[in-house]
Amino acid sequence: MILRWSLWNSSVIIIFFIVNRFVCAELLHKCDIEENNEFNDTEIGITISPIMTSNMIREIGIYWNNSNFRYGDNLILFKYHPCENQSQKLFTFTPQVSHGFKKTGKKADFIPTAQLTFDDQCLYYYATWVRDNVIKKMTCLSTHPNWMNKRKKTLGHLKMRDIFIPGTHDSAAYAKFKDPKNDNIVEKYTITQDEDILGQLIYGARYLDIRVGRYPNDEQMYWGNHGFVKIIPLQVIINDVKKFLKNTNEIVIFDVQEFPQGFQTLHDHHHLIDYLEREFADYLLERPVHVWKTTLDEIWSTGKRLIIGYDNSSIVLTRTSVWPYVEQQWGDVRTIGNLYKHLNKIEMHAATGDHSYLANQFSKPRAAMAELTPTFFDVISNWLGGLRKMADRVDINITEWYNSKWHNTANIVAVDFIKATGIINTAIKWNDERAARH
């Protein structure tokens, strides 16, 4: 009896092993992505919408560009890697055109910054291009905490003016998690990011647009502002930047633009610079002789990787700890069409080498401010629906424009709600292309 049971049990184990190997082999065959095949140039990306309603928050979107598009191909969104047992098929879509964007109606999980690491991560969601039930291309919602350092050998000889840098507009104006029920008119027109500063950097932003307010009578004197609205203590922002720099070898531009509250005299500015120098002592790169003409390799060789741009020429002349601020190129427009015209104008000028248009005598980096700008009437009337809705309308267009038209001229591109765009993946891709040409 014991012998019969052992034989039966062994047979079950053998059969299970054979079936399991067959299933896994077939599954891996479907997931296998051959290198140098016809899908190498196919682009797929995942976005997270900033829109918040009672029915939807953090809606997942998929964008694609496939020159080998064929009718009957599918885009499939999975939660978890498609080859894992726990994988869940969330959404299937059959494209009718070779490039486009589709919202999935699926909500992404909230991911606290504490769950992000300083290594590249795939965060739950995978978008796949499927033909004849075989996955031909796959991407994931991912972080890029080390994308610069990984390209040190190929990008190191270039200057900050020469590479494509993803950035955030009004970087300190963030709300990491919001309940849509509590959204009010002030927050609708002040919050520009869904990630805190550390999160923005881990996802891949390397340009921070910081607006500082000064409140000498408050317990916290300095705040990150959006206009006259206090958002987050500057100390919190500084701590995030230091944590990122401590754990990576990346170069970060901390660009202090505008001073919306409390700066009346040069003494006020000097006091802020003293504070920044103390806080960033281990990372702050003193302004070199060649200023913005300094290469990435030369920056890395100093062991200091934080550049503070400062929007006050008198201070820059007297303090070597700060650099001339980044040239922000604003369109101050309210429609997608006018934003396109503005961005096309500045990128065409950059393509022809007409830098006199930029008044950029210091060879400073330039930041294309790729967002819509509401007027005072728009805010009062709420006609545009708030910054989240405005960003949702334009962000995917920005990705396509810079992927297809302006990738050769782009320098810094600063956006609202950076995860609603594919600007980080776009910048990384085209930096690789630029490096290959040099």
| pLDDT tens digit sequence for 299-327 | 999 999 999 999 999 999 999 999 999 99
94 and 161 housed in the same domain: no
Examine the fold and report which residue of 121, 142, 163 is the final residue of a domain before the chain moves on: 142
201 and 267 assigned to the same domain: yes
* pLDDT score at 219: 93
Average pLDDT over residues 248-273: 97
Q: What six digits make up the tokens of 44?
A: 């797929």
Identify the domain containing residue 238 by its residue range.
147-437
Predicted local distance difference test score (pLDDT) of residue 321: 97
How far apart, in whole angstroms, are the C-alpha atoms of residue 321 and residue 281? 10
Phi, psi of 94 (to 5 degrees): -105, 105
pLDDT at 392: 93
**Each residue of 131-147: pLDDT tens digit?**
988 899 999 999 999 99
Q: Which long-range contacts (CB under 8 A, 24 or more apart) does 339-342 make?
A: 339/370, 339/371, 339/372, 339/394, 339/397, 340/397, 340/401
Q: Is residue 383 part of a domain?
A: yes
Check residue 357 and report its DSSP letter: G
CB 205 within 8 A of CB 251: no
Strand partners, 128: 76, 138
Distance (Å, whole) CA 395 – CA 401: 10
pLDDT at residue 438, as a whole number: 63
Predicted local distance difference test score (pLDDT) of residue 29: 42
Span 79-133, pLDDT tens digits:
999 988 899 999 999 999 999 999 999 999 999 999 999 999 999 999 999 998 8
Q: Do both 382 and 276 map to the same domain?
A: yes
Could you say which of 142, 176, 197 is where a domain stops? 142
231 CB burial (10 A radius; 0-12, 13-18, 19+): buried
- Least trusted range by pLDDT, from 15-24, 119-128, 153-162, 319-328: 15-24
Question: Alpha helix locations (H) across 178-293?
Answer: 185-188, 197-203, 234-247, 266-279
* pLDDT for res 95: 95
Locate tokens 């297809």: which residue?
404
Q: Which helix (H) or strand (E) holds 153?
A: helix 152-155
Decide if 4 is inside a domain.
no
CB 61 within 8 A of CB 49: yes
Q: pLDDT > 70: what percent of the chain? A: 88
What pLDDT band is residue 435 in, cutting at 50, 70 and 90?
confident
- Token digits for 259? 């001073």
Angle value at C-alpha 254, between 113 and 323, nearest 5 degrees: 165
Contact 218, 177 (CB under 8 A): no
Structure tokens at 219: 């317990």
Tokens of 415: 């956006």
Question: Residue 28 and residue 21: Cα distance in Å, rounded?
Answer: 10
| DSSP-derived secondary structure for 282-318 | TTB-PPPTTGGG-BHHHHHHHT--EEEEES-HHHHHH
Using CA atoms, how far residue 266 sits from 195, 227, 234, 263, 273, in Å, is: 33, 20, 19, 8, 11
Q: What is the pLDDT of residue 375?
A: 86
Residue 54 lies in a domain: yes
pLDDT of residue 53: 87
pLDDT digits (tens, 9 = 90+) for 374-428: 988 888 888 888 899 999 999 999 999 999 999 999 999 999 999 999 999 999 9
- 89 and 197, same domain (yes or no): no
Question: CA-CA distance, 303 to 282, in Å (whole number)?
Answer: 9
Instruction: Please state the pTM of the whole predicted model.
Output: 0.90
Q: Which of 142, 172, 195 is the C-terminal boundary of a domain? A: 142
Residues with Cβ within 8 Å of 52's Cβ and at least 6 positions away in sequence, in order, are 178, 180, 183, 388
Residue type, 194: D
CATH number at residue 410: 3.20.20.190
Predicted local confidence at residue 382, as pLDDT: 82
Q: What is the pLDDT of residues 290-304, one digit of tens each?
A: 999 999 999 999 999
C-alpha–C-alpha distance, residues 76 and 73, integer Å: 10
My answer on whether 185 and 124 are in the same domain is no
Domain total of the chain: 2
pLDDT band at residue 354, thresholds of 50, 70 and 90? low
Same domain as 95, residue 57:
yes
